[in-house]
Amino acid sequence: MTRKLPDKTVERLSQYRRALLNTLSGGKHHIFSHEIANLLHITAVQVRRDIMLIGYTGTLRQGYDVNELIDIIGKIIDTREGQKVAVIGIGNLGRAIMGYFSGKRTRLNIVAAFDSNPDKTDKIYAGVPCYHSDKMMEIIKNEGISIAVISVPGEFAEKVAEDLTMAGIKGILNFSPKPLNVPAHVYLQEFDMLTMLEKVAYFVKKS
Amino acid sequence: MTRKLPDKTVERLSQYRRALLNTLSGGKHHIFSHEIANLLHITAVQVRRDIMLIGYTGTLRQGYDVNELIDIIGKIIDTREGQKVAVIGIGNLGRAIMGYFSGKRTRLNIVAAFDSNPDKTDKIYAGVPCYHSDKMMEIIKNEGISIAVISVPGEFAEKVAEDLTMAGIKGILNFSPKPLNVPAHVYLQEFDMLTMLEKVAYFVKKS
DNA sequence: AAATTACTGTTATTTTAATAACAATGTTAT
DNA sequence: ATAACATTGTTATTAAAATAACAGTAATTT
């Protein structure tokens, strides 16, 4: 394997897996491409194409084996050892993210949170210890944290990203409205709520 | 105008405007395409192309007039009367969204929040009144709210989307991890944090 | 046994988005 | 005055993603 998968396929694989886990807990062990498609409101062709790209093949007339497919997707998007994640900034958004994750069985473990407000630090949130930002670089290095979620206000985001980069982070998910600049070896995903809301507004206006 | 703009251009316009407002408050009244590009970490060609698409033209050697460009973008993405927005579900995420918005001068006004937990209702959050979900459909109709942000847990998202549709909502921004199905006349934007984090993890693993 | 059906897997086509190439032109330098 | 420069606006090209078309085939029906 290790053919390069399209970005969008990777996104959908994550969604397929979630849907498949649901299916499984409903006691269903086989599923057709069009059933997956319905769950995600996309087309069956797209599902089959994605599954083709990851090299799995179903059986005619029976569809895909749910367990197998979950495993294959896991092999592709998870690492064996798991990856450690830190959340920077535990305002409402930071806490929402930690809440989303708690209980989810995944190879992504949120192992630390950081905040610059001493009132918030040295406590546990959703099972995750929150440290003062001063210790961020040190802890990230020592713990081998590879992924960071930035949920600080825009004005601090840039500095945080710099520090994270220096501490050797490998991937950043940025929720702040401030576009970041990181070296090419750091994977960056921007996630801008305000833009998305304005986009919805634009298309509503058009329609 | 009213040529149909590419999706991605619409997203960037929103970001250009934010950057331009910043520029303006820094006392700068003209800006080059490459300066905008640097702020957003994209290319200057892309900026010029987007600006071409909205029909604005700068002046050679001086670049774009910041005020004019802000206005033009506003004409395209805002409506004259503004649009009313509701936030459904005020857990951490819902509150984060309301916090992001408070103070932002925009034509999008969050005018109501809804929650099914009576402990949270009949209070004001970030200046926005929160009502019980029972009143959702009624208030949305009466107030003429056209856009909804869904920030409820996945298991309730579908029902909420149905109700919103029935109440005549025009656009939905869905933060729940559950993919929604809405009629074609409702514009839907999905926004799935878990997927995005898994995507980052995948590309980190690859690198 | 032949035809039909209901699926998968794959290639071909179209659509959308990004990038590159470059012509046009006012400004500055010589 | 001429040449070099810096910048815009636009067209052409490439890349990425989605969709369509369809071949293959086991199961089912006739």
Give the minimum alpha-carbon distance from B65 to chain A in angstroms, rounded to a whole number: 22
> Do B100 and A194 make contact, defined as CB atoms within 8 angstroms?
yes
Q: Which of A46, A75, A104 is the last residue of a domain?
A: A75
In this structure, the answer to whether residues B87 and B131 fall within a common structural domain is yes
* CATH code for the domain of B16: 1.10.10.10
How far apart are the C-alpha atoms of B14 and A198, rounded to whole Å?
7
Q: Is residue A205 part of a domain?
A: no
pLDDT in tens, A150-166: 999 999 999 999 999 99
* Pair (A67, A23) in one structural domain: yes
What is the C-alpha separation between B201 and A78, in angstroms, rounded? 7
**Subunit contact A201:B41, Cβ cutoff 8 A:** no
Task: State whether A107 and A66 are in the same domain.
Answer: no
Looking at the structure, do residues B98 and B132 belong to the same domain, yes or no?
yes
Indicate if A59 and A42 belong to the same structural domain.
yes
Average pLDDT, chain A: 95
3-state SS, residue A113? strand
Q: Residue B187, Cβ neighbours under 10 Å: how many?
A: 22
Do A131 and A67 fall into the same domain?
A: no
Domain count, chain A: 2
Of A26, A46, A75, which closes a domain?
A: A75
Q: Which residue has the tokens 């900026």?
A: B47
On whether residue B188 sits in a domain, the answer given is yes
Q: Digits of tens for pLDDT over chain B (207 positions)? A: 456 899 999 999 999 999 999 999 999 999 999 999 999 999 999 999 999 999 999 998 899 999 999 999 999 999 999 999 999 999 999 999 999 887 776 799 999 999 999 999 999 999 999 999 999 999 999 999 999 999 999 999 999 999 999 999 999 999 999 999 999 999 999 999 999 999 999 999 988
What pLDDT does B80 receive? 92
Q: Which helix (H) or strand (E) holds B123?
A: strand B123-125
**C-alpha to C-alpha distance for B23 and B110, rounded to whole angstroms:** 26
Pairing of strands A171-174, A147-150: parallel
**Percent of chain A whose predicted confidence (pLDDT) is above 70:** 98
What is the model's pLDDT at position B102? 79
Q: Dump pLDDT digits (tens) for A114-173.
A: 999 999 999 999 999 999 999 999 999 999 999 999 999 999 999 999 999 999 999 999
- Residue A101: the pLDDT is 83
Is residue B56 included in any domain, yes or no?
A: yes
B193-B197-B198 Cα angle (round to 5): 120
CATH number for the domain harbouring residue A95? 3.40.50.720
Residue with tokens 């190879």, as numbered in its chain: A107
Structural domain for B46, as ranges: 7-76
Residue A131 sits in the same domain as residue A66: no
CB contacts < 8 A, A to B, total: 168
The whole-number pLDDT of residue B108 equals: 93
In this prediction, residue B104 carries a pLDDT of: 76
Chain A interface, best mutation among B83, B92, B110, by max A CB count within 10 A: B92
Tell me, yes or no, whether A107 and A62 share the same domain.
no
- From residue B42, give the alpha-carbon distance in Å to each of A126, A181, B47, B107: 37, 10, 8, 26
Model confidence at A81, in pLDDT bands (50, 70, 90)? very high
Amino acid B75: pLDDT: 95
